Every structure is written in C-alpha cells, then in structure tokens.
Amino acid sequence: MRKKIVAGNWKMNKSQYEANKLANELAVVQLAVNVEVIVIPTSIFISEVKSNLQNSSIKLGVQNTAGTDNGAYTGEISAAQIKSAGIEYALVGHSERREYFNESNKDLVQKINQLLAHSITPIYCCGEVLAEREKGNHFNLVKTQIEEGLFHLSETELLNCVIAYEPVWAIGTGVTASSDQAQEMHGFIRSILVEKYGQDIANKISILYGGSCKPSNAQELFANSDVDGGLIGGASLVAESFAAIVNSF
C-alpha cells in the first residue's frame, strides 16, 4: 500500500564525466518496476544526469534547497528553480547538513514549506548520533526531529512527504543498524505519526532506512514491516550495487 522507494544520495562525489557515466549505466540496468528509484546527484550536474536518464523511470532529487523564495541569496538554490528543472524530490535535513551547516529543525520547516509550495516531495531525514543512543535518548531525539520538522503540516501536506531514518553512527561507517534496530525505530516513527495524524495517514507514509545499506543487508532491512526502502550513500555510487539494492524487496 505504501510506495517502496530507493534513493541514491551521491553527496559531494563524482566529476561531471563520472556522474554522466553512472547515469548512463543506471539508464540500462534492470530495476524492479514496483520500486520508485531516485538519484540525488550534485546539483551542478543534475540536468545532464536527468537527460541521460530520460528513457528510464528513475526520478531525480536534490540534496538541499533554500528556505526562501528566489532573490539575493548567493549560492542557494530555490524550490522554484528546482521545480523548473523538472526535479521531483529533495533531501531535507540530512545529518551532514545538520552537523556541518548547523541546520536546525526550525530552518528545515522553511525548506519543507518551500518544497511543498512548489510540489516537490521532501525526503525529511532524522536520526541520532551514537552518544544519544548510548544514553538511551534516541527515541526522544528522533521524536523531537519529527515533531519540530513535520507536525506543522496538514494531513494532505504530510502525505506528500517521505521520511528517512538515518542513524548517524551508521552513515559511511560500514556499521549498519541491525534489522531489529531499524524496525524498532521505524515502528516508533510510525506510531508518532499515528498519534498525530491517525492510522490511515501514517500507513501511507514511506519511511526509508539509511546508513551503510548495501546489497548484502538490504533484503533483511527491507523485509521489516515499517521499512519501506532505503536512502543509500556509498553503495549508490556504483550502478551494480545500487541496482542490487533496488532489487532487494
């Protein structure tokens, strides 16, 4: 009933040549038809990547967006511009942006509002650092991220969002959350959505897992009832491993 989604976040990787090469490889690889596949390249290459993927069903996303309308904001990219480039998804609040660019839940609300106003689907990222998990504070922290980032939205607006749970200690470390840890947090996130928006709405929201997801563990992670796909970093940089993850449901 929920969309299965696998999104590849290329982060700040790949030259122009390499980005186009990967897009061309992805354009011809066999991908499960019941999965929404998204690639999220560096913005400077996105139009070329998009045109290389034009004969495939793969969608495009950006890694970040401005929280304001068009105007004098040097270096920023607005939701209106993203929409005009034919892009359908945008990451919001990736842990690297929260950590290195000090993005707060309050900043992220502005970004989500801009995206929704331009009919772009936000992929709202949440997740705890290791110290929070060790203190037993991970549920509280993720709850706050969800409440402060999303709970201002109407039911219809929330239905246009995707959530990605990415435990920071699992990102790029090779340490994946266990299947049980992932399901536990995804089930918890859905229960918070149930409390606020009711079961029907909560059941329709896709919640993706991210953090060292790879071909060898994707199947086990995706088998969980509340894990609706993945947000993939390192393993999305190689067509073969990304495709293997997409084909893991």
**Near ligand 13P in 84-113, by CB under 6 A:** 94
Query: DSSP 3-state assignment of 41?
Result: coil
The residues that bridge with 209 in the sheet, in sequence order, are: 165, 230
Concerning whether 138 is annotated as a catalytic residue, the answer is: no
The two tokens of residue 18 are 């390499």
The answer for residues whose C-beta is within 8 angstroms of residue 115's C-beta and 6 or more apart is 65, 79, 82, 90, 92, 121, 122
Which region holds residue 119: left if phi is over 0, alpha if psi is between -120 and 50, else beta? left
Under the binding rule (CB under 6 A), the answer on residue 167 touching ligand 13P is no
CB 235 within 8 A of CB 214: yes
- Which amino acid would we find at residue 125? C
- Choices 16-24, 50-58, 129-137, 227-235; region in contact with ligand 13P by CB under 6 A: 227-235
User: Which of the following is catalytic: 94, 118, 138, 186?
Assistant: 94
User: Which of the following is catalytic: 36, 96, 132, 166?
Assistant: 166
Nearer to ligand 13P, 23 or 235 (CB): 235
The residues that bridge with 39 in the sheet, in sequence order, are: 8, 60
- Out of 122, 149, 167, 210, the only residue in the binding site for ligand 13P (CB under 6 A) is 210
> Smallest distance, Å, CB 149 to ligand 13P?
16
- Out of 58, 231, 239, 246, the only residue in the binding site for ligand 13P (CB under 6 A) is 231
Under the binding rule (CB under 6 A), the answer on residue 5 touching ligand 13P is no
Concerning whether 166 is annotated as a catalytic residue, the answer is: yes
Q: Which residues have a catalytic role annotated?
A: 94, 166
Q: Which residues bind ligand 13P (CB under 6 A)?
A: 9, 94, 166, 171-172, 210-213, 231-235
